[in-house]
Amino acid sequence: MSLSPVEGVALAEIESGTGSGGPGVKGVVGRSPGQLAWLRLRRDRTAMVSGALLVFFLLLGLAAPLIEMAYGVGPREQFQKLLDGFGMPLGYAGGVTGDHWFGLEPGLGRDIFIRLIYGLRTSLFIAFAAALITATIGIVLGALAGYLGGWLDAVINWITDLTLAMPFLIIALALTPTLTLRFYGERGQVSSAFGVGVLIAVFAIFGWTSTARLVRGQVIALREREFVEAAKASGAGLGHMLFRQLLPNIWAPILVSFSLAVPQFITSEAALSFIGVGLSDETPSFGRMIYRSLDFLQTDPAYVFFPGITIFALVFAFNLFGDALRDALDPKSSR
């Protein structure tokens, strides 16, 4: 009987009493690849710390409306009376008080803390939505190209190469205002949902290629294995072969790719928002906050510090956790 790679990894890492058959042997305890990966992950302090930080950020983003209710300040409220004649916040460190924990924005007087919470919510929603869409497209196209091969593989590879050849930034700069004019006209007020949707669509157009190539290569390596041939001989259809035989054996690299794609989309969203693509100034965003803070680097450094350190900690935690997850899912890892 032939084993799939998933079954082989689980069998290779069975924990037992090393087999002399003596009275002290407790027996054989088998664990699935997921359980083995979780055990490795739990032993990794970096993974635990970065994972806890990610859970904290995710809870902040999900609970943004509740935090607004408890905090008593909305992201669009302006406190012009707390600004001086030059538009600078009164008090120390950019107007930090018990009512405004991170101070106020110069010029408009909006609360920085609550806008950071909603900016975190915006970035996480865009990043996870884009990562899910790109992963789905990449998995489907890569699995079809790798398993069926032939002309379909050639067409998908050609589309992949064409997409990679497109200049992402130039097309994003051209596509966003074109869509805005098409749906809203020159003077229409662009909704936050539209800007978020445009960014997700732009990421989806360009972000699926790496996952597709990864899945294609993994499927090509597995499609001639004995367990695949056995499933073919039993009359399994295309859907069964892809989703029951092949994809369960390559979920580990797909998961790692997904975990590393999320921080890339977070930084991409911040970069595009910084140059005014996609999100309007009314929508809380790290990129827009950092862009507005550039004029106040000397007079109000706290304004750039809080959004800058937040996005740094968020992306850094995602990258650390992604690296730890890759090590945990690798059965040959020495960590």
Q: How confident is the model at residue 15 (pLDDT cuts 50, 70, 90)?
A: very low
**Residues 92-118, mean pLDDT to the nearest whole number:** 84
Mean per-residue pLDDT of the chain: 81
pLDDT band at 19 (very low <50, low <70, confident <90, very high): very low
In CATH terms, the fold of domain 61-329 is MetI-like fold (1.10.3720)
Query: Beta partners for 83?
Result: 89
pLDDT of 49 reads: 92
Confidence bin at 29 (pLDDT 50/70/90): low
Q: What is residue 23's predicted lDDT score, i.e. its pLDDT?
A: 47
Distance CA(226)–CA(2), nearest Å, equals 6
Task: Tell me: pLDDT of 3 over 80.
Answer: no
When comparing pLDDT for 17 and 224, which is higher?
Answer: 224
User: Does pLDDT of 198 surpass 60?
Assistant: yes
What pLDDT does 25 receive? 45
Mean pLDDT of 93-110: 82
- CA distances to 60, 64, 132, 172, 244 from 195, rounded to whole Å, are 22, 19, 18, 12, 38
Beta strands, E only, 284-325: none
pLDDT tens column, 239-298? 888 888 888 888 888 888 898 899 999 998 888 888 877 777 778 888 888 888 888 888
> Does residue 228 carry a pLDDT above 50?
yes
- Dist CA 171 CA 69 (whole Å): 40
| Structure confidence at residue 136 (pLDDT) | 93
pLDDT at 11 over 80: no
| pLDDT band at 13; cut points 50, 70, 90 | very low
What are the backbone dihedrals phi and psi of residue 102, each rounded to the nearest 5 degrees, phi first?
A: -110, 10
* pLDDT tens sequence across 123-166: 999 999 999 999 999 999 999 998 888 899 899 999 999 988 88
Q: Which pLDDT score is estimated for 130? A: 93
Q: Taking residues 179-207, report their average pLDDT.
A: 78
Low-confidence winner among 52-61, 62-71, 208-217, 250-259 (lowest mean pLDDT): 250-259
Which residue pairs, CB below 8 angstroms and at least 24 apart, start in 91-98? Answer: 93/302, 94/300, 94/301, 94/302, 94/303, 96/302
Q: Which residue has the higher pLDDT, 211 or 331?
A: 211
Residue 24 has pLDDT above 50, yes or no: no
Comparison of pLDDT for 133 and 107, the residue scoring more: 133
Angle (CA) 122 124 129, round 5°? 100
CA separation for the pair 167, 76 (Å, rounded): 35
